[in-house]
Chains A and B, each alone.
Chain A
Amino acid sequence: AQSVTQLGSHVSVSEGALVLLRCNYSSSVPPYLFWYVQYPNQGLQLLLKYTSAATLVKGINGFEAEFKKSETSFHLTKPSAHMSDAAEYFCAVSRNYGGSQGNLIFGKGTKLSVKP
């Protein structure tokens, strides 16, 4: 069965500092992995996805993630944090459910705070 674990329920960085949000996955088959962001009172917005085409995936808003099979990780990074990056971030893996693909299993989420 697939699952994802996000390390750290809350991460705080200073504006301009590196953002690193950690996600480890468990999957018996090659996984499809996603990062979503949720701003207050909004739905989830796709940041980026890994679908095996390239191990380094670039997303929106300057975020990127690297798929490392040896470490079963898919950590999200951004070189320089901006105040507008403050939000909840969810890592997710696509679940194979009775032959039906595409259902997501979410991690518990990491709340990112950005200090001025």
Chain B
Amino acid sequence: DTEVTQTPKHLVMGMTNKKSLKCEQHMGHRAMYWYKQKAKKPPELMFVYSYEKLSINESVPSRFSPECPNSSLLNLHLHALQPEDSALYLCASSQDTRGRGNQPQHFGDGTRLSIL
């Protein structure tokens, strides 16, 4: 069982829909991450939240909108997505980002997103 919970596990949506992905952790971590992973590729970082503030946006299109309502929750709001956005979206958390970089990230099982 993973300590980072992502819902839903699968999502199919049209290009005009609005949907949200949810991620939750109860490990007391203060850094949370969104990654996008295409088939047979490594995860690509999208966003980093540190202490509920957005600290890194890797030039992600505005049709992806992250939100961190509190230290345990991370959402990714989706609107007007394109077929090429179909991928596995992974959430991760770590103790924080203020250390020396030796803290591992804990990943959820992801949401598999398909855009019709």
Residues on A facing B (Cβ under 8 Å): 32, 34, 36, 41-46, 49, 51-52, 90, 94-97, 100-104, 106-109
Contacts and interface: CB of A to CB of B under 8 A. Distances in A.
B98 A101 contact: yes
B86 to A, nearest CB: 15
Contacts of A44: 43, 90, 92, 105, 107
Main secondary structure of the interface of B (DSSP, over half): loop
B109 A43 contact: yes
Contacts of B101: 32, 94-96, 101-102
Contacts of B99: 101-102
A42 B48 contact: no
Interface of B: 2, 4, 6, 31, 33, 40-43, 45, 48, 50, 55-56, 90, 92, 94, 96-110, 112
Nearest to A39: B109
Residue of B31, B56, B99, B104 contacting most chain A CB atoms (<10 Å)? B104
A104 B42 CA distance: 11
A108 B43 CA distance: 9
A99 to B, nearest CB: 9
A63 B96 CA distance: 26
